[in-house]
Structures are given as structure tokens and as C-alpha cells.
């Protein structure tokens, strides 16, 4: 039985680790005795933030596939194991009034979707070597309810929710739990351009700590493939996907999906 309990001796990697959610999670993990390695774009600010939190820092651009693998190797080399990875780095898309800002679209999909896929690819063998573990992806409410103001972000976050749900059964078979966190608007730097509008409208935003608590809970007790909505006044609740209509046979009975197309855990 895999023990994924976060505690002393366990090692976690957080991408975007010196941003708003990353910092709150790092402090929470440190409080539990977990070694939290913070990966982020290299800057004096990022290095100083990690040092203030008492966490090791590694420079990483998540859009660099090979660099994701190198960082995981470095973490295993320096800390002996990897128990959980929080694929949390992200950017917002364009606020321009173009109908479709293609440069912004491609950039946000590269960071917010491919950055997650590369991170998972890199972490899976290390988590297996640790005897199992957790991958927690920071998606967004925009992945469940697309934002008309930001198509690239909506596609990227919808994509990571689909990635998590698609990967969950095969990873569960390998002792790895993958989950998504889907926060509403939260008080971090990413909402700087629109913060005043929330304040003027009296619209509640989450604290970074509320999201960090949901991220920790997803590691400790997340259900494979779950997408946890986090909203002010609601807490973290698993989103209930509606499903799609099944095919019917000519006789009007529900058609059974061919065995080869069923996910591993469904047998
Ligand atoms: N704050 C919100 O309202 C909100 C809501 C839902 C989801 N999210 C998601 O939460 C995650 C964390 O965001 P946050 O709110 O803490 O914002 P933030 O801007 O404070 O943190 C984001 C971090 O990601 C890092 N980053 C950006 N591009 C990177 C790259 N290419 N490689 C490595 N690191 C990179 C940044 O340097 C920063 O430290 C993001 O994926 C974001 O989309 C945020």
C-alpha cells in the first residue's frame, strides 16, 4: 500500500513555486516538515522568495520539456526521492480586444497546458521509484466554465482537466494519484490587472491559503481524476461531470465500449 501522507521525510516539487499559490503551499508544507522544492523562472525575486521560505530553489521554464526532466533528476539527486509534484506554474492570456490574439493563445497554451504535460512526463518515473505519489495540477474554474475574455487560458485549463481525467486510471494503476484544482479568482499577482474591478463590484476572491489547503488535501486524500472546485464561501468540492449519452445498439440497448478502449482500471 502506497503511503502518500505528506509529512517529515517526504519531498514535493512545486512549479510556479514562488508565486501566490506556490508560496502559500510551500509554507504549509514546510509547517508539516515536508521538503518543498520551488521551481520557477529564474530571477532574484524568485530566489529571494524561496530563501525567505526556507525552501530549495530550482530554475525552470516549464515550457522546456528537457528542463522538466532535469529538474526532477536534480530533486531526486539532492533529496533522495519525489513524493508529490504540484504542476502549478501558469500565466493568464491576453486582455487585448482582438477577436483572436493568436500569439497570446499559443503562449498561454504552451505554459499552462504543455507545461503541465511535460511536468507530468518528467515526474511519473520518479514518483514510481518512490513507491507511488501524487500529481496535483492547478487548473482553474476557467477549465470547467470557459472565460469569454480569455480563450487561450480557457483552452489550456480545459485541456489540463481533460489530461488529468484521461491519465487518472492508468496512473492509479501505477500507485500515482492525479487530480486537478479549479479555483475561482484568488488574490495573487495574476489578477493584478483586474483586481480593482473585483473590489469595486464587491466580488469575493479567494485567499491563496484557501487554495493551498485544497492542494494539500488533494495530495493527502484526492480521488484519482477529480477536479476540485474552490470558491469563496464554498471550500473545495469535487466537480460532478455530467457524462455524455451512451451509444445504443440496433436493439435499443446501451452499447458496451470495446475492451481495448476501456481505461486500465476498468479492466
Ligand atoms: N489567482 C487566481 O485567480 C487563479 C485562479 C485559478 C487558477 N489559477 C492558476 O494558479 C496557478 C498559480 O497562479 P497564481 O495565482 O499563484 O499566480 P502568480 O502569478 O502569483 O504565480 C504564477 C507563477 O508561475 C510562474 N511561471 C509563469 N510562467 C512560468 C514558466 N514558463 N515556467 C515556470 N514558472 C512560470 C511565475 O513566475 C509565478 O511565480 C496558475 O496556473 C494560475 O493559472 C490562478
For 226-264, the pLDDT digits (tens) are 999 999 999 999 999 998 999 999 999 999 989 888 876
All structural domains of the chain: 11-266 (3.40.50.720)
Residues 6 or more apart whose Cβ sits within 8 Å of residue 158: 142, 143, 144, 146
Nearest atom in ligand 1 to the alpha carbon of residue 22 is 16
Q: Which pLDDT score is estimated for 184?
A: 96
* Mean pLDDT value of segment 49-55: 98
* Mean pLDDT value of segment 15-26: 98
Q: Is the CB of 20 under 6 A from ligand 1?
A: yes
Share of the chain above pLDDT 70, in %: 97
What's the 40 CA to ligand 1 centre distance in angstroms? 10
- Residue of 69, 49, 65, 67 lying closest to 57 (CA atoms): 49
Q: Which pLDDT score is estimated for 260?
A: 86
Q: Please tell me the number of Cα atoms within 13 Å of 82 on its side-chain side.
A: 29
Per-residue cell: 253: 440497448
Residue 155 has pLDDT above 50, yes or no: yes
Residue 4 has pLDDT above 90, yes or no: no
The set of catalytic residues is 153
Per-residue cell: 138: 492547478
Convert the pLDDT of each residue in 61-89 to its tens digit. 999 999 999 999 999 999 999 999 999 99
Q: Which pLDDT score is estimated for 94?
A: 83
Q: Whole-angstrom Cα distance, residue 77 to residue 34?
A: 17
Q: Which pLDDT score is estimated for 96?
A: 81
Share of the chain above pLDDT 90, in %: 90
Residue 267 has pLDDT above 70, yes or no: no
Q: What is the 3-state secondary structure (H, E, C) of 126-165?
A: HHHHCCCEEEEEECCHHHCCCCCCCHHHHHHHHHHHHHHH
Convert the pLDDT of each residue in 82-125 to its tens digit. 999 999 999 999 878 899 999 999 999 999 999 999 999 999 99
Measured by CA distance, the residue closest to atom 23 of ligand 1 is 16
Residue 156 has pLDDT above 90, yes or no: yes
Strands (E), the chain: 11-15, 35-40, 57-59, 84-87, 133-138, 176-183, 227-231, 235-238
Per-residue cell: 34: 515536508
Q: Is the CB of 186 under 6 A from ligand 1?
A: yes
What is the 8-class DSSP label of residue 123?
A: H
Residue 209 has pLDDT above 60, yes or no: yes
Residues 6 or more apart whose Cβ sits within 8 Å of residue 140: 90, 153, 157, 182, 183
Nearest atom in ligand 1 to the alpha carbon of residue 18 is 39
Confidence of residue 130 (pLDDT cuts 50, 70, 90): very high
Confidence of residue 5 (pLDDT cuts 50, 70, 90): confident
Amino acid at each position: 500500500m502506497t503511503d502518500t501522507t505528506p509529512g517529515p521525510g517526504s519531498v514535493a516539487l512545486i512549479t510556479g513555486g514562488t508565486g501566490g499559490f506556490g508560496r502559500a503551499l510551500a509554507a504549509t508544507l514546510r509547517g508539516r516538515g515536508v521538503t518543498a522544492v520551488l521551481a520557477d523562472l529564474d530571477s532574484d525575486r524568485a530566489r529571494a522568495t524561496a530563501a525567505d521560505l526556507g525552501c530549495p530553489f530550482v530554475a525552470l521554464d516549464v515550457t522546456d520539456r528537457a528542463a522538466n526532466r532535469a529538474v526532477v533528476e536534480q530533486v531526486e539527486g539532492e533529496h533522495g526521492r519525489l513524493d508529490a509534484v504540484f504542476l502549478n506554474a501558469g500565466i493568464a492570456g491576453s486582455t487585448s480586444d482582438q477577436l483572436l490574439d493568436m500569439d497570446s493563445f499559443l503562449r498561454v497554451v504552451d505554459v499552462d497546458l504543455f507545461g503541465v504535460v511535460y511536468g507530468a512526463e518528467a515526474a511519473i518515473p520518479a514518483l514510481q521509484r518512490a513507491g507511488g505519489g501524487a500529481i496535483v495540477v492547478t487548473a482553474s474554474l476557467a477549465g470547467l466554465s470557459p472565460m469569454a475574455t480569455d480563450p487561450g487560458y480557457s483552452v489550456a485549463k480545459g485541456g489540463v482537466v481533460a489530461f488529468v481525467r484521461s491519465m487518472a486510471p492508468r496512473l492509479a494503476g501505477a500507485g500515482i494519484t492525479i487530480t486537478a484544482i479549479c479555483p475561482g479568482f484568488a488574490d495573487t499577482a495574476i489578477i493584478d490587472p483586474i483586481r480593482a474591478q473585483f473590489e469595486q463590484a464587491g466580488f469575493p476572491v479567494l485567499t491563496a491559503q484557501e487554495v493551498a489547503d485544497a492542494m494539500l488535501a488533494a495530495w493527502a486524500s484526492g480521488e484519482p481524476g477529480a477536479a476540485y472546485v474552490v470558491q469563496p464561501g464554498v471550500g473545495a468540492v469535487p466537480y460532478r461531470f455530467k457524462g455524455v449519452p451512451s451509444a445504443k445498439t440496433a436493439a435499443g440497448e446501451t452499447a458496451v465500449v470495446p475492451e481495448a478502449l476501456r481505461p486500465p482500471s476498468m479492466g
